Amino acid sequence: MRFLSHELTGTTPTYLDNPAVQLEQVSSIANGDAANWFSLRTINHNGTHVDAPWHFDQHGTRLDELPPRSFFFTSARLADVPKDTGDLITEDDLRRHRKLIADADLLLVRTGFGARYRDAAPRVYGGQGPGFAESAGTYLRQFPALRCVGMDVISAGAPAWREEGRAFHRVALGAVSPPGAANPFVLLAEDCRLDDDLAAADLDLVIMSPLVIKPSDGAPVTMLALSGDDLASIGLSRTGTQGAAQR
């Protein structure tokens, strides 16, 4: 069992000049108070978070309108698409993984950028990362089973390609429906933790639990990946979780 989300801290990287996370201990047992508690101030798109259609479509579905089953994934797939600063992930990049994407309900795109830069150079991670081209959004909408795409970059939109990133968001999140679209929208989970040793065997069940905010165009999420052995250890089977996710 492993987290696919990063901790939300006062040093969490932000996209370009977005407001930073502010975490302050207000009450401290060490200082004589009765309990420990903290004040947290953040925008809802800091850290590992999910974008819902309302993020780029005034008439789109809000995150708080989605049923709980939307956040359980039993056919998660991991695609390695190596990219570096300012690169774009295109339709051609994704076509190389067509068979893998075909039956995926969650596609995790590992560029390697997060592992290289998130801790070592957070300003590079937040301001110079790769992202998706509009053509990638059009391509991803062709897969009827696909409900979410997760990525190890701070945003689906590359900071160096702002308009291209906005176009990708609009297509992926359903504000624009290209010809051949087979699903209404694809959720986008950004700033995910996709470590180098993460493997397909770790992804028998992925749970993405968003912070419940109403109304919400997106929210921080805790993502958990469970292997078959993890499921067995808590008395579940892969078959059972697949059935539950479909109900």
Q: Are strands 187-190 and 148-151 parallel, antiparallel or unpaired?
A: parallel
SS (H, E, C) the chain: CEECECCCCCCCCCCCCCCCCEEEEEECHHHCCCCCEEEEECCCCCCCEEECHHHCCCCCCCHHHCCHHHHEECCEEEEECCCCCCCEECHHHHHCCHHHHHCCCEEEEECCHHHHHCCCCHHHHHHCCCEECHHHHHHHCCCCCCCEEEECCCCCCCCCCHHHHHHHHHHHCCCCCCCCCCCCCCEEEECECCCCCCCHHHCCEEEEEECCCCCCCEEEEEEEEECHHHHHHCCCCHHHHHHHHHC
CATH number at residue 200: 3.50.30.50
Each of the 247 residues of the chain gets a pLDDT tens digit; together they read 999 999 999 999 999 999 999 999 999 999 999 999 999 999 999 999 999 999 999 999 999 999 999 999 999 999 999 999 999 999 999 999 999 999 999 999 999 999 999 999 999 999 999 999 999 999 999 999 999 999 999 999 999 999 999 999 999 999 999 998 999 999 999 999 999 999 999 999 999 999 999 999 999 999 999 999 999 998 887 665 665 555 4
CA distance 10 to 198: 26
**Structural domain boundaries, residue 122:** 2-246
pLDDT at 236: 84
Q: Are strands 218-226 and 205-210 parallel, antiparallel or unpaired?
A: antiparallel
How many independent structural domains does the chain possess?
Answer: 1
pTM of the model: 0.94
- CB atoms under 10 Å from CB of 218, counted, come to 25
